[in-house]
Amino acid sequence: MFFSLLGIALWLSIQRSFTMKPAIFAANEYKADIDTNYTSIFNREFIPTVATVPTVHSATITTLHNGQLLAAWFGGSREGANDVAIYGATRNITETGSWSQPVILVNRTTCSRELQRPLRKLGNPLLVTNAAGHIWLFFVIVSLGGWSTSSVAYKISTDHGNTFTSAKLLITSPILNMSTLVRTRALAYADHSMGIPMYHEMLGKYGLFMRINANGQILSLNKITLGRYAIQPTVVATGPTQAVALLRRTKGMPARVITGYSHDGGNSWSVAGKSNLPNPDASIAAVRRPNNEILMVYNATTEGRNRLSLASSQDGLNWQWLHDLELDQIYAEFSYPFLITSAPGEYHLLYTWHRSRIAYIHFNESWLQSLQSL
């Protein structure tokens, strides 16, 4: 009896491991498509505010299969307050239009009941649209303590974000599932699984890269960096199995963006070192350009978040400044950029504007090229 049960268990374990496909990024993550944008586009607007929500932060955006953009962010009386909820709004990609009035996507009280545990606060959201057109909304939750004891939960929408499933928890740490957070853009794999950049903040501060399939099964969880100084990795695929990770530096001088590389689809990472880009302990965002360069939105200061800029690089280490999107007095804040492409050379950027609004910029490759030709 014992050995029969053991034999069946082992057979099922072997079968489970064989369902895992090689870690190859989806072609649209790294392919250098020809730029077809002839008209230069640069539009800036704000997502409407909610009167009862004075503070907003940490926006994320994704393209939907119905031709719309869906944005999400957290907002409330202040960051970490128990009235913080995750809000969402939509906008048409192709037609001129405006953002819809925000609605609550995740409410702390409801989420607490769904996850069957008390929640103190909600944090960074991350939207991902998978190959089937389902929208995954990952978000940070805290039951005990501060952000360093966070966990990640997720909801799925199969109707373009109109409704979401009940929240489910991801278990990613052996110590009471503490200290895993999300913030930056996800990548698609050829087998339709998703690569989710994550980070850890308790004792150590380091980047992680999780691969999760369409059933919510975690396939791998690997460290991008070690130590106590780098979080919020933004990952850009540069080939079928090649990727560059760019990380926010949390301590130490000089304050520079950290660069790492993977050559096996995110299964292992090596840290190349500090890039020539300043980083005032602030989140960054990056995507692939049609000319194979990497485009980054970052705070181009060593202190303060009052300057939000664009830079481009071929290797992730050496960057060329392109343009200042925002520049104001030292106390101003333009932070937490989130950058995606809806098509090759079509960029959509969200960022926190003075902690009170979420700003949106749509620009294209023609506009970028006009900057470089100046």
Partner 1 sequence: MRLGTWVWMHGQITMLIVILMLLSIPDVRHYPYLAFSVAAIISLWPVMGTGLDVASCLLPTIGFFSCSSLILIALAVGNLLQWGIRISSFELNLLLGVASILGPVLHATASGWTSFNLYTLGFTSVMLALGVGMIAAGAWIGDFKLIAILMLTALWAWLLNLGESQNLWDYLLDPWLVLYAAYHNASVLITHTT
- Chain contacts with partner 1 (rule: CB under 8 A): 2-3, 5-6, 9-10, 12-14, 16-17, 20, 109, 112-118, 143-144, 169, 171, 173-177, 200, 203-206, 217-223, 225-228, 268
Q: How many CB atoms lie within 10 A of CB 5?
A: 9
| Side-chain half-sphere exposure of 86, counting CA atoms within 13 A | 31
CA-closest candidate to residue 208, choices 190, 226, 188, 229 = 226
Q: For residue 349, what are the CA distances in angstroms to 98, 184, 336?
A: 15, 12, 10
Q: How many CB atoms lie within 10 A of CB 22?
A: 12
Q: Taking the complex as a whole, how short is the minimal distance between the CB of residue 75 and partner 1, in angstroms?
A: 23
Bridge partners (DSSP) of residue 334 are 353
- Return the number of the residue (130 or 250) whose C-beta is nearest partner 1: 250
CB distance 285 to 337 below 8 Å = yes
Q: Taking the complex as a whole, how short is the minimal distance between the CB of residue 12 and partner 1, in angstroms?
A: 5
- Return the number of the residue (147 or 321) whose C-beta is nearest partner 1: 147
- Return the number of the residue (44 or 113) whose C-beta is nearest partner 1: 113
Q: Residues of 293-312 as b/e, b for ≥16 C-beta within 10 angstroms?
A: bbbbbbbbbeebbbbbbbbb
CB distance 107 to 85 below 8 Å = yes
Q: Taking the complex as a whole, how short is the minimal distance between the CB of residue 204 and partner 1, in angstroms?
A: 3
DSSP alpha helix (H) spans, the chain: 2-18, 27-30, 108-115, 365-372
Q: Taking the complex as a whole, how short is the minimal distance between the CB of residue 214 and partner 1, in angstroms?
A: 14
Q: Taking the complex as a whole, how short is the minimal distance between the CB of residue 60 and partner 1, in angstroms?
A: 24
- Return the number of the residue (17 or 39) whose C-beta is nearest partner 1: 17
Query: Distance (Å, rounded) from C-alpha 320 to C-alpha 311?
Result: 5
* Encoded tokens for 243: 């990727």
Q: How many CB atoms lie within 10 A of CB 274?
A: 16
- Return the number of the residue (203 or 327) whose C-beta is nearest partner 1: 203
Q: Taking the complex as a whole, how short is the minimal distance between the CB of residue 81 and partner 1, in angstroms?
A: 17
- Return the number of the residue (97 or 118) whose C-beta is nearest partner 1: 118
Q: Taking the complex as a whole, how short is the minimal distance between the CB of residue 21 and partner 1, in angstroms?
A: 11
CB distance 33 to 344 below 8 Å = yes
- Residue with structure tokens 């020809």? 34
Q: Taking the complex as a whole, how short is the minimal distance between the CB of residue 197 and partner 1, in angstroms?
A: 15
Q: Taking the complex as a whole, how short is the minimal distance between the CB of residue 125 and partner 1, in angstroms?
A: 21
Q: Taking the complex as a whole, how short is the minimal distance between the CB of residue 149 and partner 1, in angstroms?
A: 9
- Return the number of the residue (78 or 117) whose C-beta is nearest partner 1: 117
- Return the number of the residue (12 or 103) whose C-beta is nearest partner 1: 12
CB distance 264 to 283 below 8 Å = no
- Return the number of the residue (104 or 203) whose C-beta is nearest partner 1: 203
Query: Distance (Å, rounded) from C-alpha 144 to C-alpha 23?
Result: 35
- Residue with structure tokens 């900057």? 371
* Encoded tokens for 105: 């996507």
CA-closest candidate to residue 57, choices 361, 359, 355 = 355
- Return the number of the residue (180 or 312) whose C-beta is nearest partner 1: 180
Query: Distance (Å, rounded) from C-alpha 42 to C-alpha 293?
Result: 20
